[in-house]
Amino acid sequence: MTDSAILRRLAETIEARKSADPAASYVARLLHDGHDKILRKITEEATETLLAAKDGDKQHIVRETADLWFHCLILLAHHGLGPDDVLNELQRREGVSGVDEKASRKTG
């Protein structure tokens, strides 16, 4: 199993939940509630991740980061994207200086 296999399996589950009953599925409910609800949830999870990092509890950091990543997968699915889109972008950036990569995104 590759390291990214779990992300792909989660993405497949999220895709399957798109057609599920929002009353029976957390993911379906979040997708049904729309973009703003998903963004609020990501903000909440990012805040919890930051607080865990500030506290320095490694296991808490891992759990909160898992929550954040999961909700980011939901956001990607909402936009018709998946983990491979992000992994491909990371691969594109691999070996490129962060300064150079950021400069390449500037327009005009």
| Tokens representing residue 61 in the block | 């950091």
CATH number of the CATH domain containing 68: 1.10.287.1080
d(CA 93, CA 32): 33
Question: Domain residues for 10?
Answer: 5-104
d(CA 94, CA 54): 28
d(CA 21, CA 34): 15
Q: How many domains does the chain have?
A: 1
pLDDT over threshold 80, residue 106: no
DSSP one-letter code for 83: H
pLDDT tens profile 56-92? 999 999 999 999 999 999 999 999 999 999 999 999 8
pTM listed for this prediction: 0.85
pLDDT category at 36 given cuts 50, 70, 90 is: very high
DSSP one-letter code for 23: T
Q: Give pLDDT, residue 62.
A: 98
